[in-house]
Structure 1
Amino acid sequence: MEKLPYHPLVIVTQEDLQKARELYGVQDVNSLRESLDILEKWLQKQPHLAEGSKYLSPANLERAFITAKGSVEETKRRLERMFTSRGMMPELCLNRTVEEFKDEWEVVNYVPLPKICPSDRSRVMVTQFLTEKLEKFSILAYFRLCFMVGEYRLNFDYTPAERFIIDFKNIHIGLLIKINPVVVKKAEVLCTEGIGTKIKGIHILNAPTFVDKIIHLLKQALREKLANRIHVHSTYEDLHKYIPKEILPKDYGGDEESCSKLSEKWKKLLRQEEARKIIQDTEKLVSDETKRHESKFNEEYMGMPGSFRRLAVD
C-alpha cells in the first residue's frame, strides 16, 4: 500500500507511513508485499477463517503485519485472535447499526483526532461527556460505538498505537454505577488481544473529586501494564507533554477543530452509504467455529474465563 487512500477525518501522511514502518523494522517494500501475499494465501486455506477473510481490507492486513513487527507467524496469531475474539464477544462488536447510537450521542462525543501524534505515531481518541444527565448513557453502548468507529477507521489508518483522552467535565458520582468492570475487561481484551491495539496511554481530564474511585474500578478490570498508563492531568499544559497542541482540538488548547464539530462530521460520515457498507463488511470478520479443527483459543490466547472469574466487584 504505497499510495494511501484519502480520508477527510483520518489523515495519514506519507511520512506517517514511513515512520510507522521504520518503527517496526518493516522497510523493504518487496518483502512486505511478499509477506502480505503469504498471509492472504494462508487465510484462504484456513477453513474457519477463509470466508470472513474475504472482508479483510488490505489496509487492515498490512496494519496487522506492521504491528506484529514484520513477523508472518505473529501476524497469523493476531489474525486468529481478531476473527475469533470478535465472534466470542458479539455484544461488543456485532449486529450494529448507526441508528442504535442516537441516545448515546446525546450523552457523549467519541472522536478520533484527524492527525497522528508525531512523537509516537499514535492515533488519539477523545471521549467527552456532554451532560450531567446520565440516564441515556450505557457503558455497553459506549464500547459498541467505540469499536464501530475504530474498526471503520482501521480501513484507512496506518498507526501502530493509540491513546485515549477521557474528559470528565460534566460527570457526577452517579457514573460509578454505570461502570461495569466485566464489560470494561471484555472491551480491553477485544481491543488489545483481539484487534491487537497497542494502547500508549489513557489520559483523564477535568477529573472529579471522586476520580480515585473511578480509577479503582478501572484498575480492577484492566491489566496492570495498562492500568499503569492511566494519567490524570490537572492542566491542559500537562496533557501537552504527551500530546502536542498541533493535533489537539480547541477544547484542550490545541489547533484542531473542536470536538463537537469533529463529532458532527463523524456522525454525518457514518450515515453515508459507503461507511455503512464498510461497517457491514466488518461484521463478517469472524471465525466459523463449526469449521475449526481444534479450538483452544479461549484458554490459550485470551485467558478470559480465568480473568472474569477472578474479577472482584466491591
Structure 2
Amino acid sequence: MQCIPKNSLLEHRPETFLSIRKEYNLDKPGEMEDAIRILREWVQKQHHFKKKDFSDHYLEATIIACKGSIERAKTQIDRMCTLRTLLPHFFGTYNVKTDMGIVFDVMTAVILPKLTPDLYRVFLVKINKKAYLIKDYLNYFIHNIILAEYIKTHDYCLGFHIILDLTEMNIMDFLPNLNPVQIRQAMTIMIEGYGMRIKGMHIFSPSKLIDSFVMILKQVTSPKIASRIHSYTTLEPLSNIVPFEVLPSDYGGQERPLKAIFEEWKDLLSSKEHLEHLESMNEAGTDESCRQTDKFNEQYAGMPGTFRLLTVD
C-alpha cells in the first residue's frame, strides 16, 4: 500500500502517511511491503482462522497499531478473530440507521474529521438529558465497533483522544444502567482487538458523581489506560486538549457542527459498501478445534467472556 484509502469524511495531513511509517522505522522503500508479506504468510498458516484474506491496508493498520512489531501484530489479529468467537453479540451486519434502537436519541458519537497536528484522532461522545431512556448500552458499544471497523479500513493515525461530554445529563440516570462486565468486554475488543491506542480519555461533567463513573472505568481498564483517564467539571479545558481547528463549531472550534458530522457518519456506516465489509469481516472468527489447547490457555485464559476453558468475570 502506497497511500491512504480515500473516503468522504476523514481528512489527513500531507505528512500523515510517511510520518507515521517513519515513526516506526518502516519508511524506507519496501520495508512496509516486506512486513505486510511476512504477516500475510503467517495468517495463511493459522489453521484456526476462518478468514485469511485480510486487505493490505488492514494488515498495515495492524502493524502501525502495534508500533511496527510484526509479532505483536500477529497477536492482535489472533485476538480480534478470537474475540469475534468469544463475544459474538458485539458483532453483526447492523445498519446503524435502522438497528440502533433509541441510542441515537440519547447520544452522539463521532470520530472528528481532522487529525490533530501530532496525527491523533478525536473520538467525541456526547450524551444528552434523555440518558434515562436507555436500559441497556449494548447497541452503543456495537455502534462503536462498527465505527472501529470503518476506521480500520480507511484511516491512518497514531491513536486517539477520547472525549466524553456528560455536561447535559444527570449522572444518576446513567450510572444504574452501566454493566461493568459489558464495558470491560467492549474495551477489550477496542483496545486488544482493534488496537485502539488511547492517548487520553477526558470526561466532562459538573456532577460530583462523575468520580464514581471514573472509578468504574479505571476498574475495567489496564493501569496504563486508567492513568490516562481524567475528569473535569466544565468544558473549558477542552481547548487545551484538542486543537481549535479540530473541534466542532458548537464546541468553539472551526469544524462543522457535531450533529452534521454525526449524520455523515450514519450515512457512511449504513452504506452498501460498509455493510458488505461488515458481512465479510464477520467471517473472521476462529475454529478452536484447530488451535493448540495450550496456546489458547496461555493467551486467553482470564479474558472476559465464555468459551471452552474460560470463565465469566
> What TM-score, normalized by structure 2, do the two folds share?
0.90
State the match for 1:297 in structure 2.
296
State the match for 1:151 in structure 2.
149
Determine whether 1:33 maps to 2:33. Answer: yes
State the match for 2:10 in structure 1.
10
Q: Is the 8 A contact 1:152 1:282 kept in 2?
A: no
The SS at the match of 1:106 is helix
State the match for 2:81 in structure 1.
83
The one-character-per-residue Cα deviations of 1:13-55 (angstroms, maximum 9, x if unpaired) are 3411122112222212302101211211221121112x4122x
State the match for 1:135 in structure 2.
133
Q: Is the 8 A contact 2:249 2:255 kept in 1?
A: yes
- Judged with a 3 Å threshold, the aligned counterparts in structure 2 of structure 1 residues 206 and 257 are, in CA distance, closer, same or farther, namely farther
**Mapped partners of 2:300, 2:266: distance in 1:** 35
- Judged with a 3 Å threshold, the aligned counterparts in structure 2 of structure 1 residues 198 and 294 are, in CA distance, closer, same or farther, namely same
**Mapped partners of 2:9, 2:198: distance in 1:** 20
Per-residue deviation, 1:188: 1.6
Q: Is the 8 A contact 2:207 2:233 kept in 1?
A: no
Any residues of structure 2 matched to 1:13-162 within 5 Å, and which? 13-49=13-49, 51-54=50-53, 56-94=54-92, 96-98=94-96, 99-119=98-118, 121-136=119-134, 138-162=136-160
State the match for 1:199 in structure 2.
198
Per-residue deviation, 1:200: 1.0
**Mapped partners of 2:10, 2:290: distance in 1:** 36
The aligned amino acid for 2:92 is L
Determine whether 1:230 maps to 2:229. Answer: yes
Per-residue deviation, 1:95: 5.2
The one-character-per-residue Cα deviations of 1:261-291 (angstroms, maximum 9, x if unpaired) are 1111111222221121122222222222232
Determine whether 1:182 maps to 2:187. Answer: no
**Mapped partners of 1:123, 1:89: distance in 2:** 26
The SS at the match of 1:8 is coil
- What's the Cα RMSD here? 2.3
- Greater mean deviation of Cα atoms: 291-300 or 271-280: 291-300
> What TM-score, normalized by structure 1, do the two folds share?
0.89
**Mapped partners of 1:223, 1:216: distance in 2:** 12
**Mapped partners of 2:151, 2:223: distance in 1:** 27
Per-residue deviation, 1:223: 2.0
Per-residue deviation, 1:110: 0.9
- Judged with a 3 Å threshold, the aligned counterparts in structure 2 of structure 1 residues 85 and 278 are, in CA distance, closer, same or farther, namely same
**Mapped partners of 2:258, 2:135: distance in 1:** 18
**Mapped partners of 1:197, 1:269: distance in 2:** 20
The one-character-per-residue Cα deviations of 1:55-74 (angstroms, maximum 9, x if unpaired) are x2322210111222322222
Aligned length, in residue pairs: 307
State the match for 2:287 in structure 1.
288
**Mapped partners of 1:74, 1:114: distance in 2:** 28
- Greater mean deviation of Cα atoms: 254-263 or 193-202: 193-202
Q: Is the 8 A contact 1:68 1:74 kept in 2?
A: yes
The aligned amino acid for 1:16 is T
The one-character-per-residue Cα deviations of 1:105-154 (angstroms, maximum 9, x if unpaired) are 111111100111223x2211111113335223532111111111111221
- Comparing both structures, which one devotes a greater share of its residues to helix? 1
